[in-house]
């Protein structure tokens, strides 16, 4: 969840972890119960990552990068699409044909989003921010992931200041539900 380094290093490491979770899900046979556990882990990672980006990365992009508003808006829309898929996936059993279809759609959407961030957004941010600012953003991202929700909340606000006020409360409730159900411990 927290890796160290500047914002770009932190988020890139998250991206590789998500790639690995997709690979682990795909390596198991259809219907295998472990796929549900891995899908829950994937959901938790994607939600924490997205919430942290929406709280700190995209406001920085808006502030420092030319045409940053358009870039941030596009990335937030990508997150909304992924969150809708994660909500659908939550209700699927690994033996359900929809499970594989959703995993495939989700992987395609996440892969496109990650490529856009790593090939376009991150280089622009690196050009326009000081190394100290990038380090500070990395610290903020790590901190946000610790309190972020772990379940999709498609109706929740995804821009400041409302997201910064509501995300920690939703995160606390999600972590309590996870603890009580054993979700994410597989």
Look up tokens 């500070």; give the residue: 136
Choose the weakest-confidence range: 78-87, 96-105, 159-168.
159-168
Angle at which helices 97-116 and 34-52 cross, to 10°: 30
pLDDT, one tens digit per residue, over 139-183 is: 999 998 988 776 665 555 455 544 444 555 454 445 455 555 565
Q: What is the pLDDT of residue 128?
A: 96
- The gap from C-alpha 77 to its chain's centroid, in whole angstroms, comes to 13
**pLDDT at position 133 over 90:** yes
Judged against a pLDDT cut of 60, whether residue 22 lies above it is answered with yes
The per-residue pLDDT of the chain, averaged, comes to 85
pLDDT at residue 175, as a whole number: 47
Which of 41, 109, 114 minimizes the C-alpha distance to 80?
109
For residues 9-32, b (16+ Cβ closer than 10 Å) or e, as one string?
ebbbebbeebeebbeebeeeeeee
Buried b (16+ CB within 10 A) or exposed e, 76-104: bebbeebbebbebbeebebeeeebbebbe
Q: Which domains does the chain have, with CATH numbers?
A: 7-181 (1.20.120)
């Amino acid at each position: 969840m927290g890796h160290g380094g500047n914002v770009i290093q932190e988020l890139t490491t998250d991206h590789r972890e998500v790639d690995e979770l997709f690979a682990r899900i795909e390596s198991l046979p259809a219907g295998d119960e472990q796929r549900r556990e891995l899908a829950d882990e994937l959901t938790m990672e994607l939600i924490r990552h997205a919430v942290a980006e929406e709280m700190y990365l995209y406001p920085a992009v808006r502030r420092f990068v030319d045409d940053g508003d358009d870039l941030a808006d596009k990335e937030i829309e990508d997150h909304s699409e992924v969150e809708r898929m994660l909500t659908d996936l939550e209700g699927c059993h690994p033996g359900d044909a929809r499970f594989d279809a959703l995993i495939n759609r989700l992987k395609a959407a996440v892969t496109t989003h990650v490529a856009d961030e790593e090939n376009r957004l991150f280089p622009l941010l690196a050009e326009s921010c000081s190394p100290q600012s990038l380090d500070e953003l990395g610290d903020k991202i790590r901190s946000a992931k610790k309190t972020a929700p772990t379940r999709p909340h498609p109706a929740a606000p995804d821009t400041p200041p409302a997201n910064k006020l509501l995300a920690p409360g939703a995160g606390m409730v999600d972590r309590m539900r996870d603890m009580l159900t054993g979700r994410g411990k597989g």
